[in-house]
């Protein structure tokens, strides 16, 4: 089950949404939307769906959050009307869609997220360098660390008197968070086979909170009181805390966009139901729900550009 998100993001950044366009209810909106994809975005999609269904009682939104890698084929095969992804589409996924339809999918940036490195809340370590993160999680160490890091003592800390071995948790391979972390944190290297893959970000956070010797990566929106997010940096003197300001300024190394993807033929309007749902997501009300879920609303300028994609041909 999904942990309840921290509401701190909502209270700290609600002013971000103040100048965004309001969503205005339209007549004649009815039908069913099927969304397939990201587990990271599962709760956010449920928030959007619930509010949208309240506005339009004749609508139904089904959310299938089985991982970002399931979104492109579901959209290409016509199983889903919207794909949710916590990573960019791969070239191969775009080519498969283009072979089927003769044009590229429309990709919308709808929220900002950060992949957090979580440890149990009493863990004394102040942060990690990018090379140390790679040495903990990868077998390849492409980011430059000389040797693998398997014990907290290698970092100068005695985390657990009984067992100082680092217990490493992560996502499974269908997850967009898995793919993003592989690129951002492992320099596109390979995960160590001792990483304990979990089916959801919530499972990663639960596992870390229950073990003093654990570390795991997961979407920041799943943070709970039992864990803390480590600052990350190029050097130990330049550790960057995971804050709203650092994510927006792209100073935090593992910042990323979250995406919704649709099949929109060039020069044509989306069906009314899908168009109105996406306009709701890209509105003051929709972005407030992003922040309520512990993630970060996109900037007003970017939001306006994304809304234009709904009425113009994809690039």
Hey, which bits of the chain come out as E strands? Answer: 31-37, 59-64, 82-85, 106-120, 128-129, 167-171, 196-198, 214-219, 227-229, 232-233, 255-262
Q: Which residues, in sequence order, are CB contacts of 170 under 8 Å at separation 6+?
A: 137, 178, 181, 191, 195, 196, 197, 198, 204, 216, 217
Q: Which class for 27: exposed (0-12), middle (13-18), buried (19 or more C-beta within 10 A)?
A: exposed
Q: Kindly give the confidence (pLDDT) of every residue in the chain, 315 residues in length, as a single tens digit, with 9 standing for 90 and above.
A: 233 333 333 333 445 677 799 999 999 999 999 999 999 999 999 999 999 999 999 999 999 999 999 999 999 999 999 999 999 999 999 999 999 999 999 999 999 999 999 999 999 999 999 999 999 999 999 999 989 999 999 999 887 756 789 999 999 999 999 999 999 999 999 999 999 999 999 999 999 999 999 999 999 989 999 999 999 999 999 999 999 889 988 899 999 999 999 999 999 999 999 999 999 999 999 999 999 998 999 999 999 999 999 985 444
pLDDT for the residue numbered 86: 94
**What is the C-alpha separation between 114 and 177, in angstroms, rounded?**
10
Burial string for 8-18 (b: 16+ CB within 10 Å, else e) reads: ebbeebeebbe
pTM, to two decimals: 0.84
Q: Quote the CA–CA distance of 185 and 26 in Å, as a whole number.
A: 44
Integer Cα distance of 116 and 13 in angstroms: 19
As a 3-state breakdown, the chain gives helix, strand, coil percent values, each rounded to 5, of 35, 20, 45
Token pair 């599962």 is found at 42
pLDDT value for 248 = 83
Residues 6+ apart with CB under 8 A from 175: 38, 39, 40, 67, 68, 69, 86
Cα–Cα distance for residue pair 243/305, rounded to 1 Å: 25
Of the candidates 244, 258, 247, the one whose C-alpha atom is nearest the C-alpha of residue 286 is 258
Q: Assign 151 to helix, strand or coil.
A: strand
Coil/strand/helix, residue 103? coil
Pairing of strands 196-198, 82-85: unpaired
Rounded CA separation 299/315 (Å): 21
Dihedral, CA atoms, 244, 249, 254, 255, nearest 10 degrees?
70
- Residue 309: which H helix or E strand, with range? helix 300-309
Looking at residue 161, what is its pLDDT? Answer: 58
Cβ neighbours for 66, distance < 8 A, ≥ 6 positions apart:
36, 37, 39, 174
Separation CA 219–CA 5 (nearest Å): 11
CB count in 10 Å sphere of residue 246: 17
Position 294 scores a pLDDT of: 87
């Amino acid at each position: 089950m999904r942990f309840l998100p921290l509401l701190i993001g909502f209270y700290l950044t609600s002013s971000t949404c103040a100048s965004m366009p309001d969503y205005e209810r339209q007549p004649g909106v009815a039908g069913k939307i099927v969304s397939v994809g990201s587990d990271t975005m599962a709760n956010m999609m449920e928030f959007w769906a619930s509010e949208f269904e309240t506005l339009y009682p004749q609508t139904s939104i089904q959310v299938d959050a089985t991982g970002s890698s399931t979104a492109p084929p579901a959209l290409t095969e016509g199983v889903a009307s919207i794909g949710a992804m916590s990573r960019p589409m791969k070239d191969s996924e775009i080519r498969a869609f283009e072979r089927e339809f003769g044009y590229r999918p429309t990709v919308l940036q709808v929220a900002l997220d950060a992949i957090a490195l979580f440890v149990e809340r009493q863990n004394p370590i102040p942060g990690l360098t990018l090379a140390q993160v790679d040495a903990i999680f990868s077998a390849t160490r492409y980011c430059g660390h000389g040797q693998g890091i398997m014990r907290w003592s290698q970092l100068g800390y005695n985390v657990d008197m009984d067992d100082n071995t680092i217990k490493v948790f992560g996502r499974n391979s269908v997850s967009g968070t898995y793919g993003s972390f592989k690129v951002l944190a492992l320099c596109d290297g390979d995960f160590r086979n001792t990483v304990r893959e979990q089916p959801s970000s919530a499972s990663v956070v639960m596992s870390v909170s229950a073990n003093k010797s654990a570390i795991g990566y997961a979407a920041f929106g799943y943070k709970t009181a039992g864990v803390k997010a480590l600052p990350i940096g190029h050097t130990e003197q330049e550790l960057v805390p995971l804050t709203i300001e650092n994510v927006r300024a792209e100073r935090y190394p593992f910042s990323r966009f979250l995406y919704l993807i649709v099949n929109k033929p060039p020069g044509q309007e989306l069906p009314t139901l899908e168009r109105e749902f996406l306009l709701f997501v890209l509105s003051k009300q929709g972005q407030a729900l992003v922040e309520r879920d512990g993630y970060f609303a996109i900037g007003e300028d970017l939001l306006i550009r994304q809304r234009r994609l709904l009425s113009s041909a994809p690039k």
